[in-house]
Amino acid sequence: MSEHRIRALALCIFHHRGKILVNEFYDDVNQQTLYRPIGGGIEFGERSAEAIVREVQEELDQSIHDLRLLGTLESLFTYAGKPGHEIVQIYDAKFDDERVYENQQIVGHESNGAPFHAKWCDSSDFSPTSPLVPEGLHELLKALSLLE
C-alpha cells in the first residue's frame, strides 16, 4: 500500500495577449484532457520561487525574470485513478527571451525526459470537461484579470 502525502508544487503563469502557457495532458482513466501551467514539485530545502526558476530551465530551457507570487491554492483531486492532494504556489513571470511569446507551441521535457508541447490557450479553451488545473486556478486568474 502506498502512503498518501501532500505534495508542494510551484507553477508559473506566463501570459501574453489574453492567453497563458499550459501543458496539455490526458487522464486515461477519466478520459479527460487537462491543462496545467509550467512548473513542478518543490524540492526539500528549495524555496518555491527557486523551484519555478529551476523547473522552467529544466522543462523549457528558458530563463525568466520579474517573478511574483500570485497566490496559493489547495487542490484535492483524482488523476489516473489515484487520489492527490497538493498545495500550490502560483507565480507570474516573464521569459528573458521575448521570441518565446511568438511560438504557438514550445517543446518541453518532463523530468523523466518525456517530451511535451506547451501551448498558448485562452479562457475558451478550458471547460468543466477539459479544465485548467489545479482546482481554483481559473477563478484566481480571472480575479487578477489574467484571463477573461
pLDDT tens-digit series, residues 30-62: 999 999 999 999 999 999 999 999 999 999 999
Residue 30 lies in a domain: yes
In a domain, 91, yes or no: yes
pLDDT of residue 1: 45
pLDDT of residue 112: 85
Residue 62 belongs to a domain = yes
User: Which pLDDT tens digits describe the chain residue by residue (148 residues)?
Assistant: 457 899 999 999 999 999 999 999 999 999 999 999 999 999 999 999 999 999 999 999 999 999 999 999 999 999 999 999 999 999 999 999 999 999 999 999 888 888 899 999 999 999 999 999 999 999 999 999 998 7
Q: Please give the tally of structural domains in the chain.
A: 1
Name, in order, each residue with C-beta under 8 angstroms of 58's C-beta and a sequence gap of 6 or more. Answer: 109, 111
Domain that holds residue 71: 7-143
CA dist 37 and 61 (Å) reads 15
Work out the widest C-alpha separation in the chain, in whole angstroms. 47
The pTM score is 0.93
pLDDT of residue 20: 97
Distance from the Cα of residue 79 to its chain's centroid: 15
Please report whether residue 2 resides in a domain. no
Q: Does 52 reside within a domain?
A: yes
pLDDT value of residue 2: 59
Cα distance between residue 77 and residue 133, in whole Å = 10
Query: Which CATH number does the domain housing residue 127 bear?
Result: 3.90.79.10
Identify which of 31, 37, 34 has the alpha carbon closest to the alpha carbon of residue 93: 37
